[in-house]
Copies of this chain bind each other. A is one copy, B any other.
Amino acid sequence: MPAKTEKKLADLFHDGLRDIYYAERKLLKALPKMARGAESPDLKAAFEKHRDETEGHVDRLQQVFEIFGKRAQGKNCPAIDGIVEEGEEILDEFKGSRALDAGLIAAAQAAEHYEITRYGTLKRWARELGMDDAARLLDQTLGEEAKTDEALSRLAETAANQKAA
- Using a CB–CB cutoff of 8 Å, the interface residues on chain A facing chain B are 1-2, 4-5, 8-9, 11-12, 16, 19, 77-83, 85-86, 90, 94, 97-99, 102-103, 105-106, 109-110, 112-114, 116-118, 120-121, 124-125, 128, 149, 153, 156-157, 160, 163-164
Q: Chain B contacts of A94 at CB under 8 A?
A: 8, 11-12
Q: Across the interface, do B4 and A97 meet the contact criterion of CB distance under 8 Å?
A: yes
Q: Across the interface, do A86 and B97 meet the contact criterion of CB distance under 8 Å?
A: no
Copies in the assembly, this chain: 2
Q: Across the interface, do B106 and A112 meet the contact criterion of CB distance under 8 Å?
A: no
With A106-B121, A121-B106, A157-B124 known as contacts, the answer to whether A5 contacts B81 (CB < 8 A) is no
Q: Across the interface, do A120 and B160 meet the contact criterion of CB distance under 8 Å?
A: no
Q: Across the interface, do A80 and B78 meet the contact criterion of CB distance under 8 Å?
A: no
A-B contact sample (13 more), CB < 8 A, given A12-B106, A110-B114, A113-B117: A4-B97, A8-B97, A9-B102, A11-B94, A12-B102, A78-B81, A79-B83, A79-B114, A102-B125, A109-B120, A112-B117, A113-B113, A124-B160
Least distance between A1 CB and chain B CB atoms (Å)? 6
Least distance between A161 CB and chain B CB atoms (Å)? 10
Q: Chain B contacts of A1 at CB under 8 A?
A: 163-164
Q: Which 3 A-B pairs have the closest CB atoms?
A: A78-B82, A79-B82, A8-B99
Partner of A118, one of B2, B79, B110: B110
CA–CA, A120 and B106, complex, Å? 9
